[in-house]
Amino acid sequence: MNNRPSVLITGASSGIGAIYAERFAARGHDLVLVARDKARLETLAARLRETNGISVDVLQADLTDATDLAAVEARLSDDARIGILINNAGIGQSGSFIDQAAGAIDRLIALNILALTRLSNAIAPRLVKTGEGAIVNIGSVVGLAPEFGMSIYGATKAFVLFLSQGLHLELSPKGVYVQAVLPAATRTEIWARSGNDLNSLPAMMEVDELVDAALIGFDRRELVTMPALQAAERWDAYDSLRKGLLAEIRQDRVAARYHNVNE
């Protein structure tokens, strides 16, 4: 019997999710792989079973579909073997805010925000009850940079970071580790799916390099892992300034610059 916790990975059929599956399989963890493309999941699962001698379950699901999402929630809630959730599934954005169709906006928010939040909510009570486990949320540096122009996508990734920080404060005292991974541009299929030409984009990080760095952060129990950030102290300074700004807020008094000058 495998005493290591099973790992449920969303968006596992390719890219970041598939490499996470390979890496956790190599560590001896059983897996539950979730994605829309069942054929690719089955191919990956068969290879990982043969190579690593582990159990791999395939769960075909479109996380923007209410029924499919509920099925994955039930698996996370009910399967006591699952101790690690990798919230990787997501889609990108091509074009400006005014170019977005209503349906595309709904789908982007449903996958990048709603599904991630509900899956975290499905597993968290059980992890708290056992006093161990981990939730890993894949965000993006775009969530820190409205200057990049992907306003809706960036907003969803800002949500992922905020949620992860909030869950860390709430869950870490109860034994549950939460990690936000913020990749910079990484060579995955998300670019083509969102209508971008890979050949027109600048140099990108390879997926295996990204995931290996994220797993080093995971092993170190980092709250925020930014594999492309060369000087880690810059994040520390950024976070310190944010906390300092909050310390200056006085909710009972308007700042002097907003006083009526005519009074």
Q: What percent of the chain has pLDDT over 90?
A: 78
The candidate with the shortest Cα–Cα distance to 113, out of 135, 137, 136, 145, is 137
Residue 261, pLDDT > 90, answer no
pLDDT band at 231 (very low <50, low <70, confident <90, very high): very high
Q: What angle do CA 30, 36, 42 make, to 5 degrees?
A: 45
Maximum CA extent, the chain: 78
Q: The tokens of 55 are what?
A: 């159990």
What is the model's pTM?
0.92
From the candidates 20, 153, 177, 238, give the one annotated as an active-site residue: 153
Give the pLDDT confidence of 154-200 residue by residue, as tens digits.
999 999 999 999 999 999 999 999 999 999 877 676 655 655 566 66
Domain boundaries, the chain: 6-232
pLDDT of res. 148:
83
Instruction: Answer for the pair 144, 185: CB distance below 8 angstroms, yes or no.
Output: no
pLDDT of res. 263:
54
The candidate with the shortest Cα–Cα distance to 10, out of 176, 188, 138, is 138
pLDDT of res. 190:
62
**Which CATH number describes the domain made up of 6-232?**
3.40.50.720
CB half-sphere exposure, 159, CA atoms < 13 A: 17
Q: Among this protein's residues, is 177 annotated catalytic? A: no
Give the pLDDT confidence of 98-128 residue by residue, as tens digits.
999 999 999 999 999 999 999 999 999 999 9
pLDDT of res. 216:
98
pLDDT of res. 9:
98
Q: The tokens of 102 are what?
A: 């209503």
Residue 205, pLDDT > 90, answer no
Three-state DSSP at 36 gives coil
> Residues, the chain, total?
263
